[in-house]
Amino acid sequence: QVQLVESGGGLVQPGGSLSLSCAASGNIFSINGMGWYRQTPGKQRELVATISSGGSTNYADSVKGRFTISRDNAKNTVYLQMNNLKPEDTAVYYCNANGEMSMYGLGRRRFGSWGQGTQVTVSS
């Protein structure tokens, strides 16, 4: 099993900053892509940012220039630095990772995992 745990959410004022982190653990052989998604009540979950194992990044237009995604491969951790936050950024943020997990000598299996989510609230 591969588990993801997010942390760093909270309440901030408009224009403020927050840093999110997501650590993957378990019988990981390799992690390919990692990303952040967010969801508000009544809306579908949307992509915020992704990063490949090689460091290539992709951002939603709504956060481009304000958010930065990064990863530490040695720690199996992905980060999201959020600056100049706006009320419309309020959502539950979810971490995602995909890759291959070890099957204890029986081979490898592809996985896709989600974290439990962390609440980000931007309000004055």
d(C-alpha 9, C-alpha 22), whole Å: 11
Mean pLDDT for the stretch of residues 51-72: 97
Band of pLDDT at residue 1, cut at 50, 70 and 90? confident
The confidence score (pLDDT) of residue 86 equals 98
Angle at 20 between CA 41 and CA 114, to 5 degrees: 60
At 17, list the tokens: 């900053």
CA distances from 49 to 40, 88, 105 (A): 16, 16, 34
Written as one letter, the residue type at 29 is: F
d(C-alpha 4, C-alpha 83), whole Å: 23
d(C-alpha 6, C-alpha 20), whole Å: 7
Tens of pLDDT along 4-60?
999 999 999 999 999 999 999 999 999 999 999 999 998 999 999 999 999 999 999
CA distances from 7 to 13, 61, 93, 94, 103 (A): 18, 24, 10, 10, 28
At 119, list the tokens: 């609440």
- Report, in angstroms and rounded to the nearest whole number, the Rg of the chain calculated over CA atoms: 15
The confidence score (pLDDT) of residue 20 equals 98
The confidence score (pLDDT) of residue 105 equals 83
Tens of pLDDT along 76-116?
999 999 999 999 999 999 999 999 999 988 999 999 999 99
d(C-alpha 36, C-alpha 19), whole Å: 12
